[in-house]
Amino acid sequence: MTVTRRIATGFAALAGAALLLTGCGHGSTATAGPPSSSSSSGSTDDAKLKDMQQKVDSAESAAAQADSDATRNN
């Protein structure tokens, strides 16, 4: 596996882990209270979602570029 492919795979894994952690973060413990008013506002959630989507898109783009590079080099 080439260095570029490893980096792209790492980014994709990091983005996936971030999605899992973000999606499971609220209310995942028994002692957690209700979410604060700032975290439950629609605009804050939309901004977080947009930011996470950009990260996932970047990781997918990097992975596609690594695949293209690997195909071209082999």
Q: What is the structure's pLDDT at 69?
A: 86
Q: Could you read off the pLDDT of 4-49 as tens digits, one per residue?
A: 777 777 777 777 777 666 665 555 455 555 555 554 567 888 889 9
Task: Kindly list the domain boundaries of the chain, sorted by start residue.
Answer: 1-15+51-74
Dihedral pair phi/psi, residue 57, rounded to 5° = -60, -40
Q: What is the structure's pLDDT at 53?
A: 92
What radius of gyration do the chain's Cα atoms show?
Answer: 17
Longest Cα–Cα distance in the chain: 54
Dihedral pair phi/psi, residue 30, rounded to 5° = -70, -25
20-29 in b/e form (b: 16+ CB < 10 A) is eeeeeeeeee
* Rounded Cα–Cα distance for residues 28 and 40 (Å): 16
pTM confidence score = 0.43
